[in-house]
A and B are shown apart, each in its own frame.
Chain A
Amino acid sequence: MAKFEKSNSVGEWLDQRLNLTTFNKVMMTEYWIPKDINFLWAMGVLLATTFGILIISGIFLMMYYKPDINLAFDSVNYTIMQEVAFGWLFRHIHGVAASVVFLVIYIHMFTGIYYGSYKQGREMIWISGMLLFMTFSAAGFSGYMLPWGQMSYWAAMVITNLFGGVPVIGDALVVWIRGDFNVADATLTRFFMLHVFLLPITIMGIIALHFYTLRIPHVNNQNSDEFDFDTEAEKYLAGNKKESKVIPFWPVFISKDLAVLGVFLIFYFYLVFFHYDFAMDPVNFDPANNMVTPAHIYPEWYFLWSYEVLRGFFFDIFGFKAFNIGLIAFAFANVIFLLLPWLDRDPKILPAHRRPVFFVWFWILMIDLIVLTVYGKLPPTGANAWVGFFAAVSFILLFVILPIVTKIDAKKRGSL
């Protein structure tokens, strides 16, 4: 055991035992971030904050929520919304944050794609980030089920049904996931467990991993400028703060994040109080009823693009069933972003505006995703179905041609 001297203060006492001074340096005051960044680099802190908001509001909701099909709807809409002091506030905070968190995730994700922050050593940042996207999606889906409204029930029905498309074990898999032949009480209770325990704890673990993956390759910057972090850090510590290309996480980087966070929170709380229907669908204020199918079943806005890829293939092609093609396309949509670092064949890290063909590719992808999102909500009839079909095909083609697109840029520049 190490030798311990008598300490003169609580800080010193803790420092002897936990080495807080060093810990603080490594994590905060000497954790180096590039200086050449814009507000898009604040999305990580926004996400961490929103996740914190979700956890805290979720804990309060859990004190009154009842995961039972006969009690769930009223425990949310009566007990929490009308009876408990400020229960409505916690529910609105939770429901709106669950929706807004995806907006920030998408901004965070497409910032990464635009600036090329997913490759050449940063693959693990990208992969852990996409794992977070997936676990957040699962948390969003399982949470949406809990109020046991019409949309909760029918979305659960539609999505769990999809697993029936898995070859050989499909039907058994659906029953295993639901815990019943139908979406029923067993389904609600297990999704409650997923939503309040397994998924949050997994997310916390992956967040820690995501933060850790940043340590070695470091954060990217606006111009993909490559420099030696140690040299720049020395400059900063020596007092050449203006000349140095890096800033410490605390307090310089975080001060910018907090300014951005302030603006974000104004926007977010405006939605919480005055504009929440987009996140808390009115249809879900009708109690679940397995005898009445809603006129329109659609997922929350953040799933619409992949839902439309699924639904876009509405006719059989060469004897392949529409349902199966859609399912394969849906699976493609959900894993393809994970493979992005390897689909990009350009060896250099550059922002999209310095990769002319990729720049066009990026904006076509953005437009295609918005088209998919909007048409994912519209009734899939007439011309809508065809727009969905072509948008879904375009989505797949975009990723098929990505290796070629990125190679063309590299060749033009002479990097290949």
Chain B
Amino acid sequence: MRELKILAVVVALTLITYWGVEPFAHSQMHPHVAPADFTFSDVQEDIKDIKALQGDAANGETLVTSNCTACHSIEAKGFPPVMDNASSAAAYGVTPPDLSSAGKLYNADYLAAFIKNPAKASKVSHKFVEGRVHPMPAYDWLQPQEVADMVAYLKSIAPKEMTNKQVFNDACQRCHSIKYADMKGGTMAAFTPNADIKHYMGKLPPDLSQFIRSRGHEYLETFVNDPEKNLEGTAMPRVGLNEEAQKQVVSYLEEIGDSKKSQREELGPKFLIYLVIFAIFGFLWKASKWRDVH
């Protein structure tokens, strides 16, 4: 009985200290932010007129082909990149994305808002002041119907299924490397050369190899959805991934950065079962030895 009381005191002090330095301290250091918003409610006002319309993919094809392919490749439709990555980065500041998968990765409302005003939709207007302009011009002079058609077209050509890696390639890798994904081959470097991306973003965007451990699920969930929420004034744009694409990105970060997770979770219970048996034998042995002395 006395031992249990002492144990209770030791456990209580340990838990109070733990609570103070972990959950409590972290809640003070990293204030809670609103959960991820996959409806992109802040752009709804800008695209109200577009949303009311039915997009026509066939018409969208003409519009996209004539307006976008000067800079963007659409490999799925036979439009290869106009230049190699390094040259296009030098020309635009950052390598422009291929549009083949845009309709799958990005929320449709966000995509419409982005076409109308990229800097505003991606929440990086603060970077483009004093004569600096976003590398992609705003297409706010298009008719709402035309924007709706372009979005419909992009959705129509997007693949139905993509691997986590493909999502990462298209959504993140223009700026971010994830070198642990191919340590020897080095194929998972950012598409935009370091010097260019550093100039464009103000600093080199971090390698994402260990972000699943350094940031964790909860942070990534709100950060990828809207970087400004966790990091006010950051150079990283809001990319506009829909919920499914974001899940795939986070899963990819986990596959690469915490590649032994399943092994860890499988081995853990086995260790614990073994130790429970060890403890039972420990108590039995103790009982047998102390029977004579008490």
Using C-beta atoms within 8 Å of the partner chain, give the interface range for chain B: 35 or more
In the complex, A259→B20 CA distance in Å?
30
Question: Which of B206, B286, B293 interacts with A286 by CB under 8 Å?
Answer: B206
Asked if B265 is an interface residue, CB under 8 A from chain A, the answer is: yes
- Residues on A close to B: CB < 8 A? 35, 38-40, 74, 77-78, 81-82, 88-89, 92, 103, 107, 241-242, 244, 247, 251-252, 255-256, 258-263, 265-266, 269-270, 272-274, 277-278, 282-287, 295-296, 301, 304, 366, 370, 373-374, 377-379
Given A35-B293, A282-B215, do A255 and B28 touch, yes or no (CB 8 Å)?
A: no
Q: Are B283 and A39 in contact (CB under 8 A)?
A: no
Q: Are B216 and A282 in contact (CB under 8 A)?
A: yes
Measured between beta carbons, the chain B residues less than 8 angstroms from A78 are 180, 183, 209
Q: What residue in chain B is nearest A79 (Cβ atoms)?
A: B183
In the complex, A117→B270 CA distance in Å?
39
Question: Which of B10, B24, B271, B288 interacts with A269 by CB under 8 Å?
Answer: B271
Q: Are A266 and B2 in contact (CB under 8 A)?
A: no
In the complex, A231→B290 CA distance in Å?
20
A interface majority secondary structure: helix
Q: Are B293 and A265 in contact (CB under 8 A)?
A: no
Given A273-B267, A370-B20, do A82 and B279 touch, yes or no (CB 8 Å)?
A: no
Q: Are B275 and A262 in contact (CB under 8 A)?
A: yes
A32 to chain B, nearest CB (A): 12
Q: Are B6 and A282 in contact (CB under 8 A)?
A: no
Question: Which of A35, A38, A103, A273 interacts with B3 by CB under 8 Å?
Answer: A38
In the complex, A89→B261 CA distance in Å?
11
Measured between beta carbons, the chain B residues less than 8 angstroms from A88 are 260, 263-264
Q: Are A378 and B214 in contact (CB under 8 A)?
A: no
Given A82-B180, A377-B25, do A40 and B6 touch, yes or no (CB 8 Å)?
A: yes
Q: What residue in chain B is nearest A375 (Cβ atoms)?
A: B20
In the complex, A260→B4 CA distance in Å?
12
In the complex, A272→B265 CA distance in Å?
11
In the complex, A252→B263 CA distance in Å?
39
Measured between beta carbons, the chain B residues less than 8 angstroms from A270 are 268, 272
Asked if B292 is an interface residue, CB under 8 A from chain A, the answer is: yes
Asked if B162 is an interface residue, CB under 8 A from chain A, the answer is: no
In the complex, A244→B293 CA distance in Å?
8
Q: Are A285 and B279 in contact (CB under 8 A)?
A: no
Question: Which of A40, A262, A283 interacts with B278 by CB under 8 Å?
Answer: A262
Measured between beta carbons, the chain B residues less than 8 angstroms from A277 are 22, 216
Q: Are B286 and A256 in contact (CB under 8 A)?
A: yes
Q: Are B268 and A274 in contact (CB under 8 A)?
A: yes
Question: Which of A39, A74, A82, A274 interacts with B259 by CB under 8 Å?
Answer: A82
